[in-house]
Amino acid sequence: TEDEILLFEREMKEFWTKFKSIYGSEQISQTLALRDSCKESIKGLSETWSKKLKEADLKICKIQECSNEILQQSQRISENQEQFTEIESNLNHEEEQKKDLTDSIQELKEELMKKKEIISAKNKASKERVEPLCKFKVLFEERLGLEIRRIPNEQLQFIFRYIDHKDPDKPYVFTLSINEQGDYEVTSCTPPLDCIAEFQLKVRETNNFSAFVANSRKAFTALSYK
């Protein structure tokens, strides 16, 4: 180092002073030449090591810069890894939701198909029940003074006339439908008949609709005489 070099020079001067007092001029000249040679060698070594130290400092700085850059890259990689893990977790969650949604849609489709089959079966049963009624429409109209109308909600309205001899055009009406169980059901009756529930039960047991209509007319006729 610079301090060591100065110390060395100071020791050399002291050595030269002592040596000068002991030896002659010739030896002094040789020693001086040797000293100068040593100084040149020391100067050369000093310059060489000083250069190497500067190069080493530069390399250390570069290594430190590389180390800092590597540390920053490592931090970015760690952050990216955390983001990737979060994204992957979100994707997995979305896949689970998609699967649940797909399963729910499939269940709804199956349930809808079942309901369609049930509705189709009910419509078919209702049609099978209603068609025979329509076949007797003309017969009932001609013989019993009956008018049959199809009204909303798959119902049939039965309108009797020529019952009240005082007012032949006065209507006597009951409305009939097919319930979810496929049975006949009287939904309204004007004027009310106390026996209509009994007639309804009878037609469900016998499926004799002609008798049901005839009995209803008879009941309306009996009511008109009261």
Q: Are strands 155-160 and 172-178 parallel, antiparallel or unpaired?
A: antiparallel
Closest CA to 215 of 170, 178, 184: 184
**pLDDT score for 85:** 80
Least confident range of 126-130, 145-149, 157-161, 198-202:
126-130
Higher-confidence residue: 137 or 108?
108
- pLDDT band of residue 126 (cuts 50, 70, 90) is low
pLDDT value of residue 207: 92
What is the reported pLDDT for 215? Answer: 95
Give yes or no for residue 44 having a pLDDT over 80: no
Position 137 confidence tier, pLDDT thresholds 50, 70, 90? low
Does residue 24 surpass a pLDDT of 70?
A: no
- The structure tokens 């030449």 sit at 33
**Is the model more confident about 214 or about 138?**
214
Q: Tell whether the model's pLDDT for residue 30 goes beyond 70.
A: no
141-147 LR contacts (CB < 8 Å, sep 24+): 144/213, 144/214, 144/217, 146/213, 146/217
- Mean pLDDT, residues 111-125 taken together: 72
User: 38: which 2 tokens?
Assistant: 């040593």
Query: Tens digits of per-residue pLDDT, 49-76?
Result: 778 778 878 888 888 888 888 888 878 8
Span 146-162, average pLDDT:
91
Domain boundaries, the chain: 81-142, 145-225
Contacts of 180 (CB under 8 A, 6+ apart): 122
**Is the predicted pLDDT of residue 142 greater than 80, yes or no?**
no
Residue 122: its pLDDT value, please? 61
Q: Tell me: the pLDDT tens digits for 82-113?
A: 886 887 888 788 888 888 888 888 888 888 78
The reply to whether CATH 3.60.150.10 applies to domain 145-225 is: no
pLDDT digits (tens, 9 = 90+) for 180-213: 888 999 999 999 999 999 999 999 999 999 899 9
More confident of the two residues 144 and 188: 188
- State residue 159's pLDDT score: 95
The answer, yes or no, to whether the previous bond of 191 is cis (omega within 30 of 0) is yes
Rounded to whole angstroms, how far apart are CA atoms 23 and 27? 6
Global model pTM greater than 0.85: no
pLDDT bracket for residue 177 (50, 70, 90): very high
